[in-house]
């Protein structure tokens, strides 16, 4: 028989960026609440949030082409791009609040200004990028973006990519200097340190084995201490499951109706990391290309300057792969164990629908190092094999569920919250844009799970996040003020202030328009 622990108000499962964000929000909104964190690894931010396991782009749709779709008439739908940018602005505001309140330390340890670029080849893609640029330039959120199809301008922007390149087809790029590189692993550790300093109990090396409702409508969580081998029981009024790829199996353990008919499709990945300081020094941007046909959105190729442990590095990838594990530290039986009678048909339907994705992943798994070098040379023509090492990226589990639009077994790309009808438990599933939109997602959790507190909490939420409840895209002056203030607080000036005032309607463009 295990030990019965004292009741907590909130249990957060997983010490990643999502739990750290929710815990930090709750500590400001309800400081008297008792919060416990359960994490199976020995420190915070080691799985999906780790700096080596995600792109750290600070996803704000400045460079990710898959967030803008071309309509049959050739116009570009920027709805998703605007939505994701708005969500990232919420994260910036909350981080700036924490810095201003001296609740987390030096912001440059987790966020830096870095240009975000999109780069395409071929007449058709250049036309798409030009139309995308024009559409985005109409939104205040994207002011400061430049377009060029002039090779000389591209040499100025991305010398490493243009060096030694034989230009046989049209090329074009967009560039915006207000992009960021975010070290989500370091941010997570900062937030967890803040929580620990403020009375939150963080239990590392604790594995959640089971969850069930108690007679008094709390949740009882059975936990194994991986050091001592003992089993404890933690109880709480509210449980948040933020276990990255491991959230789906934990959600299934709850038995709530909302956990039924949901499956998960794991996608693994590799990155190439440059080990030559001279090559690293030649590039200063995140440059995103277009995904290959049949590739999942998370496999969009990109050449990224990154700052990890305050050291500049250069990564290229990701190369997608398949592993049945739901976490890097997971089990090869994760996928098969996640198939239940209630989601079997959903999973089978997805298998039939996603044959092209399956084929793509098999091809990626079989790629030789030389084939990977060929893909890298599409970005860096003079890349040398000895300058690049391979690292394994994080596991991502894409959600599979039945939807009205897609029918049975539809593969979802994005981040989703599954909540019990009574709001007593919530789970975060899915992948990109993930960490970048953590504040938006956790506000959604608060709204769904604590509606009885929202009226009381709203003034404090607006103090932390001034644009809460407001659409920045429709309030350009407010956006400019907030963007400028957060840039100054987070140390993103002067580069980050290359954002034109919303009243300045003239858009910047280089090259032939």
User: What tens digit of pLDDT does each residue of 478-495 get?
Assistant: 999 999 999 999 999 854
CA distance 243 to 316: 26
Instruction: Give yes or no for a contact between 294 and 357, defined as CB atoms under 8 angstroms apart.
Output: yes
172-187 residue pLDDT tens: 999 999 999 999 999 9
Predicted confidence (pLDDT) per residue in 10-69, tens digit: 999 999 999 999 999 999 999 999 999 999 999 999 998 889 888 788 889 999 998 999
Q: Which residues contact 349 (CB under 8 A, 6 or more apart)?
A: 407, 408, 409
Q: Say how far apart CA 67 and CA 58 lie, in whole Å.
A: 14
pLDDT 10s digits, 303-358: 999 999 889 999 998 887 778 888 888 888 888 899 889 888 888 888 878 777 77
pLDDT at residue 11 in the model: 98
The Cα–Cα gap between 479 and 82 comes to 13
Report pLDDT for 497: 41
Closest Cα to residue 495, out of 132, 111, 131?
A: 111
pTM for the model? 0.90
In this prediction, the residues of the chain whose per-residue pLDDT falls under 70 are: 1-6, 293-299, 362, 432, 494-513
Question: Is 267 within 8 Å of 328 (Cβ atoms)?
Answer: no
Burial 322-359 (b: 16+ CB within 10 A, else e): bbbbbbbebeeebbeebeeeebeebbebbeebbeebee
DSSP 30-99: -TTS-EEEE-SSSSSS-STTSTTTS------SSS-GGGSEE-TTS-EE-HHHHHHHHHHHHHHHHHHHHH
Can you give the pLDDT at residue 294?
A: 60
User: For residue 396, which of 505, 289, 497, 246 has the smallest C-alpha distance?
Assistant: 246
**Residue 4, pLDDT score:** 63
Picking from 108, 105, 92, the residue whose alpha carbon sits closest to that of residue 465 is 92
Q: What was the pLDDT predicted at 270?
A: 86
Separation between Cα atoms, residue 279 and residue 262, nearest integer Å: 45
The C-alpha angle 507, 291, 246, rounded to 5 degrees, equals 110
């Amino acid at each position: 028989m295990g030990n019965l622990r004292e009741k907590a108000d909130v249990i957060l499962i997983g010490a990643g960026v999502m739990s750290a964000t929710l815990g930090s929000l709750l500590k400001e909104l309800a400081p008297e609440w008792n919060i416990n964190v359960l994490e199976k690894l020995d420190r915070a931010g080691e799985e999906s949030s780790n700096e080596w396991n995600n792109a750290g782009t600070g996803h704000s749709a400045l460079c990710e082409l898959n967030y803008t779709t071309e309509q049959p008439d050739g116009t570009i739908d920027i709805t998703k791009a605007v939505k994701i940018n708005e969500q990232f602005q919420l994260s910036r505001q909350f981080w700036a609040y924490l810095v201003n309140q001296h609740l987390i330390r030096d912001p440059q340890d987790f966020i830096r200004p870095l240009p975000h670029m999109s780069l395409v080849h071929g007449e058709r893609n250049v036309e798409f990028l030009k139309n995308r640029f024009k559409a985005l330039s109409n939104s205040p959120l994207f002011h400061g973006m430049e377009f060029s199809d002039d090779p000389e301008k591209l040499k100025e922007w991305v010398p490493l990519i243009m060096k030694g390149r034989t230009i046989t087809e049209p090329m074009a790029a967009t560039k915006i200097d207000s992009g960021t590189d975010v070290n989500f692993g370091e941010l997570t550790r900062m937030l967890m340190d803040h929580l620990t300093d403020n009375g939150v109990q963080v239990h590392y090396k604790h594995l959640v084995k089971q969850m069930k409702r108690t007679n008094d409508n709390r949740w009882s969580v059975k936990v194994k201490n991986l050091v001592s081998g003992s089993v404890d029981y933690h109880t709480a009024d509210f449980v948040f499951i933020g276990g990255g790829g491991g959230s789906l199996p934990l959600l299934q353990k709850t038995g709530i109706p909302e956990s039924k008919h949901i499956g998960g499709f794991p996608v693994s990945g590799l990155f190439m990391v440059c080990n030559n300081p001279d090559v690293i020094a030649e590039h200063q941007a995140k440059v995103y290309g277009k995904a290959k046909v049949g590739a999942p959105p998370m496999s969009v190729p990109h050449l990224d300057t990154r700052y990890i442990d305050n050291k500049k590095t250069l990564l290229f990838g990701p190369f997608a792969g398949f592993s049945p594990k739901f976490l890097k530290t997971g089990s090869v039986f994760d996928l098969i164990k996640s198939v239940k009678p209630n989601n079997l048909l959903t999973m089978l339907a997805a298998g039939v629908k996603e044959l092209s994705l399956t084929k793509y992943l098999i091809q990626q798994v079989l790629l030789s190092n030389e084939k990977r070098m060929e893909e890298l040379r599409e970005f860096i023509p003079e890349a040398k094999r000895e300058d690049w090492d391979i690292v394994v990226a994080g596991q991502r589990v894409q959600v599979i569920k039945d939807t009205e639009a897609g029918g049975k077994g539809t593969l979802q790309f994005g981040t989703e919250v599954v909540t019990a009808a009574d709001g007593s438990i919530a789970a975060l599933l899915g992948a990109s844009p993930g960490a970048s939109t953590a504040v938006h997602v956790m506000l959604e959790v608060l709204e769904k799970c604590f509606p009885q507190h929202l009226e009381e909490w709203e003034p404090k939420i607006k103090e932390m996040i001034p644009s809460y409840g407001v659409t920045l895209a429709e309030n350009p002056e407010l956006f400019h003020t907030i963007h400028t203030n957060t840039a100054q607080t987070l140390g993103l000036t002067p580069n980050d202030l290359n954002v034109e005032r919303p009243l300045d309607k003239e858009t910047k463009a280089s090259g032939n328009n």
